A and B are shown apart, each in its own frame.
Chain A
Amino acid sequence: MSTKPVLVVHGGAWAIPDEFAERSILGVKNAVKSGFAVLEMGGSSMKAVEIAVRALEDDTVFDAGHGAVLNADGYVELDAIIMNGKTLAAGAVSCIRNISNPVTFACSVLKKTPYVMLTGTGANQFAEKLGIPQVPVEELVTDHAKAEWEQYRKYKQTVKSLFNTELVHDTVGAVAIDCEGNMACATSTGGITNKMVGRVGDTPVIGSGGYADNLVGAVSATGHGESIMKVTLARLILFHMEQDLHTTRSSMCGSLHYCAEVGEQPSLRHQLLPSLPDPVEAFLQVKLQRKLQILLFTIWRRESMDGEEL
Chain B
Amino acid sequence: MHSSSCCCCCSSFLLFLLPLLLALVWSTGRFSGISGNCRLSAGVGFGSMKPVIVVHGGAGRIFKDREEGARSGVTRAALKGYSILKQGGNALDAVEEAVTSMEDDPHFNAGCGSVLNEKGEVEMDAIIMDGKNLASGAVSAVKCIANPIKLARLVMEKTEHMLLTDHGANLFAKAMGVPEIPGEKLITQRSRERWNKNLEPDSNPQEFKKDPGTVGAVAIDNEGNVACATSTGGLANKLVGRVGDSACIGSGGYADNHVGAISTTGHGESMMKVVLARLILYHMEQGMSPVEAADTALNYMKTRVGGLGGVIVVSNSGDWAARFSTKQMSWATVKDDQLQYGIYTGEIHTSSVAEALESK
A37 contacts chain B at the CB level, 8 A cutoff: no
For window 36-56 of B, CB contacts with A under 8 Å fall at: 36-39
Q: Which of B33, B241, B248, B249 sits near A122, CB closer than 8 Å?
A: B241
Q: Which of A121, A124, A239, A262 sits near B282, CB closer than 8 Å?
A: A239
Which 4 interchain pairs have the tightest Cβ spacing? A198-B168, A122-B241, A120-B166, A122-B240
A16 contacts chain B at the CB level, 8 A cutoff: no
Tell me the smallest distance from the CB of B114 to a CB of chain A, in Å: 15
A229 contacts chain B at the CB level, 8 A cutoff: yes
Would you call A207 and B278 a contact (CB within 8 A)? yes
Interface-located stretch among B13-21, B84-92, B155-163, B191-199: B155-163
B226 contacts chain A at the CB level, 8 A cutoff: no
Tell me the smallest distance from the CB of A167 to a CB of chain B, in Å: 18
Would you call B163 and A205 a contact (CB within 8 A)? yes
Tell me the smallest distance from the CB of A304 to a CB of chain B, in Å: 26
B272 contacts chain A at the CB level, 8 A cutoff: yes
Q: Do A200 and B239 form a contact, CB below 8 Å, given A117-B272, A262-B39? A: no
B225 contacts chain A at the CB level, 8 A cutoff: no
Would you call A198 and B169 a contact (CB within 8 A)? yes
Q: How many pairs of residues, A versus B, come closer than 8 Å at their CB atoms?
A: 171
Would you call A198 and B136 a contact (CB within 8 A)? no
Q: Please tell me the size bucket of the interface on A.
A: 35 or more
Task: Please encode chain B, from 124 to 137, with 1 for each CB lying within 8 Å of some chain A CB and 0 for all others.
Answer: 00000000011110
Q: Do A198 and B167 form a contact, CB below 8 Å, given A119-B241, A126-B239, A261-B37? A: yes
B184 contacts chain A at the CB level, 8 A cutoff: no
A2 to B359, CA, bound (A): 67
Q: Do A207 and B275 form a contact, CB below 8 Å, given A120-B166, A257-B37? A: yes
In the complex, how many residues of chain B place their beta carbon closer than 8 angstroms to a beta carbon of chain A? 52
Task: Please encode chain A, from 98 to 133, with 1 for each CB lying within 8 Å of some chain B CB and 0 for all others.
Answer: 000000000000000111111111111110000000
Set of chain B residues within 8 Å of A115, measured between Cβ atoms: 238-239, 242-243, 269
Would you call B140 and A200 a contact (CB within 8 A)? yes
Would you call A230 and B249 a contact (CB within 8 A)? yes
Tell me the smallest distance from the CB of A221 to a CB of chain B, in Å: 13
Q: Which of A113, A196, A205, A254 sits near B161, CB closer than 8 Å?
A: A196
Would you call B273 and A90 a contact (CB within 8 A)? yes
B-side residues, CB < 8 A to A, are 33-39, 117, 123, 133-136, 140-141, 159-169, 171-172, 205, 238-244, 248-251, 254, 268-269, 272-275, 278-279, 282, 304-305
Set of chain A residues within 8 Å of B241, measured between Cβ atoms: 118-126
Would you call A89 and B166 a contact (CB within 8 A)? no
A158 to B161, CA, bound (A): 10
Tell me the smallest distance from the CB of A127 to a CB of chain B, in Å: 10
Would you call B168 and A262 a contact (CB within 8 A)? no
A123 to B167, CA, bound (A): 12
Q: Do A121 and B167 form a contact, CB below 8 Å, given A207-B278, A232-B278? A: yes
